[in-house]
Structure 1
């Protein structure tokens, strides 16, 4: 059985994520006793799971600092399970029981041919913050996470977390003791520009945004630092790369959406219907957060979900019906 692959660079890891649908990454440190203690358990995992169904890798956090920073690994050892290039699960510390749980999840995915909870639209366990429109599915798995780009984001956050299949930590009832952040915030002002490339042509029906800023802050002096929810967003389709902020201000968007307070549900998710006839053959999407719903200098996003159709054709009659929807 092959040993885990030692990652040599960020490009090397991106290649592994691109070529393997399921990847387990072991982030370790040579100076960590816990890393040395847990290493034999990881070697046992490599004997249970075979390539090409899954790839196991090792990443030295000291030699590969950019990767450790990208995936917010601050306390090796840390194990991360990737599905389709996105983080699906994470275990921190020398925790054999947690690693065993990760092995069981991975084994189930492998046994099901890499499906199961990997594809959000296939009835798996992926978290969603709002119900699906009738007749449509979550197609967020079409996102090419390796091509994601987020402008004006705080460097403490990773853009890939926006498409994580897991439930946002802010919705957990028990307070988290981890300093790990599974959301993104803007940096110098409240604007964000998110470029989302797709693996295949897509029909988008609805955009779901989840934003869970802290709501119990009563200190007026901290108002500028407390992040807001997005208020105005502009969407641009079929762009070969991300826009600049000046360009996004000057050109006409495919659609502009104003999000009101009543649009956010109890999960902090806004279900935003799109003008479906304008989103019929989409290879990429740019989401421009123009402003937030308050006076802060920051906005926050926890999750992004894409709802629609991928790789399927609708009957002509239904297409005509959609085209006749009010407001089109």
Structure 2
């Protein structure tokens, strides 16, 4: 992680633009109140998202470097210019933190996708010092808003406790099964811990996802990497253990106050039901894109994903990662989080 680079000459900026895929430049002066207000936000984004050669943050004191400010027609401060491969892509004027944050997150995700193309066929993105791994490319104009998931309120029914927890699904790192140890989990305390979720008594899973802000949800990315006949290892399972499969039928419900029971879900009409085909799964990353009817997902405070069945005859379903793609809106007043139980 690193903060913004201070630009002291036009030559330095020119060199930077040629050495980093994406460059974000803040124009400011020290006496401008709005410049000072947004400074902490900008520095925080730089710390989170900067990656050498991919995403670089810089700052230009417009009074000390008038030539640079004039060359990019910077008239009011603060101002932000986003460059991609050396060309101006977007200008943002004023202390609009939301617009700045959304623009930078979108471009950082694009940079991740470009960077990972050699490893994952151009579909995914790798997690560096900033930016999360993605299993598929982003639709134009939308960002990965998985960071808006309220992890405190997540709930997963019918999950096998020998595997990962519900929070595993929203980890920002790439699944370990994409690496050399295919099918193996991350090592914790010297013991391999699977970094995916599997169903328990049958193939069904019920996942409740609350958000910290109201979202417009465009796409849900689901990554599932069950072992294949070509895998060398057997995940240390007994030979007669049933291999897990990918989800097939997924029912999606919006704006529920808590998770649904399995019988309850079957009695409620889903906001949308998607049936995944084998061809929907990317061969490199094991990711399928659930493209939603966007008009029905315009003001979403929570989602319930009901995996009703899986591919084939197996009674175990596996999910490695989930990403929510769309637009973030106003923060919700979460109040006191209370766990909803089923006891009387």
TM-score of the superposition, structure 1-length normalised?
Answer: 0.57
Distance in 1 (CA, whole Å) between partners of 2:49 and 2:324 is: 16
Higher helix share: 1
d(CA) in 2 for partners of 1:230, 1:199? 27
Q: Which residue of 1 aligns with 2:220?
A: 207
Structure 1 position 260 matched with structure 2 position 277: yes
Instruction: Give distance in 2, aligned partners of 1:112 and 1:277.
Output: 33
Asked whether 1:185 is paired with 2:117, we answer no
Kindly report structure 1 stretches of 4+ aligned residues shifted beyond 3 Å. 117-122, 174-178, 221-224
Residues 21-32 of structure 1 aligned to structure 2 (within 5 Å): none
Partner SS, residue 146 of structure 1: helix
Aligned to 2:173: 166
Deviations, residues 130-186 of structure 1 (Å, cap 9, x unaligned)? 000111110001100010000000112211010000000000025658311111000
1:188 and 1:110, CA in 2 relative to 1: closer, same or farther beyond 3 A?
Answer: farther
Provide closer, same or farther for how the CA distance between residues 138 and 115 of structure 1 changes in structure 2, counting only shifts above 3 A: farther
1:116 aligns with 2:48: yes
Once the two structures are superposed, the pairs formed by residues 1-328 of structure 1 within 5 Å of their partners are 112=44, 116-117=48-49, 121=106, 123=108, 124-156=130-162, 157-174=164-181, 178=187, 179-216=192-229, 225-265=242-282, 266-311=284-329
User: Cα gap change, 1:236/1:114 in structure 2, threshold over 3 Å: closer, same or farther?
Assistant: farther
Cα deviation, residue 125, structure 1: 2.7
Structure 1's 223 and 212: CA in aligned 2 closer, same or farther, altered over 3 A? farther
- Report how far residue 116 of structure 1 moved: 1.8
- In structure 1, how many angstroms separate the alpha carbons of the residues matched to 2:171 and 2:256? 23
> Which residue number corresponds to residue 102 of structure 1?
none
Q: CA deviation at 1:203?
A: 0.3
- Matched pairs, number: 203
Task: Mark the structure with the bigger radius of gyration.
Answer: 2
User: Which deviations, in whole Å up to 9, do the C-alpha atoms of 1:81-118 show, x marking residues without a partner?
Assistant: xxxxxxxxxxxxxxxxxxxxxxxxxxxx9963686249
Query: Unpaired segments of 5 or more residues in structure 1?
Result: 1-108, 313-328
Using the TM superposition, give the Cα deviation of residue 294 of structure 1 relative to its aligned residue in structure 2, in angstroms: 1.2
TM, length-normalised to structure 2: 0.55
5+ residue gaps, structure 2, are 1-40, 51-100, 109-129, 331-344
